[in-house]
Amino acid sequence: MTRRSKADWRKLIEEQIASDLTGLEFCRLKGLTYKTFSARKCELNPAKQIKPSFVPVKVHKPVQPQLLLVQVNGIELKFPAELSAQRVGEIIKACAI
């Protein structure tokens, strides 16, 4: 197994890019281990590394709470969305609409 310097790896990486071969094809041709080649390529090319980033997000509550609109006999009723269908039915019956 040959120990390569960073300069050697950079040269191999530049060769692979210029060759238009995939990393795997290049490694087979040169007798390199693809896993090692990929690790060195990532290590020596910080622009290709995926760096975690966070995007600030502000969560705004809705200005108007979610409403359930029900029309019964031409009358529009508004209920909180979290109200169960059973409770909505009870209210409509109680109002004798």
Tens digit of pLDDT for each residue in 44-78? Answer: 876 655 566 666 666 666 656 677 777 777 777 88
How confident is residue 15, by pLDDT bands cut at 50, 70 and 90?
Answer: very high
* Packing angle, helices 6-19 and 34-44, rounded to 10: 100
* Structure-model confidence comparison of residues 97 and 11, the more confident one: 11
| H or E element, residue 75 | strand 75-80
pTM over 0.75: no
Q: Is 5 helix (H, G, I), strand (E, B) or coil?
A: coil
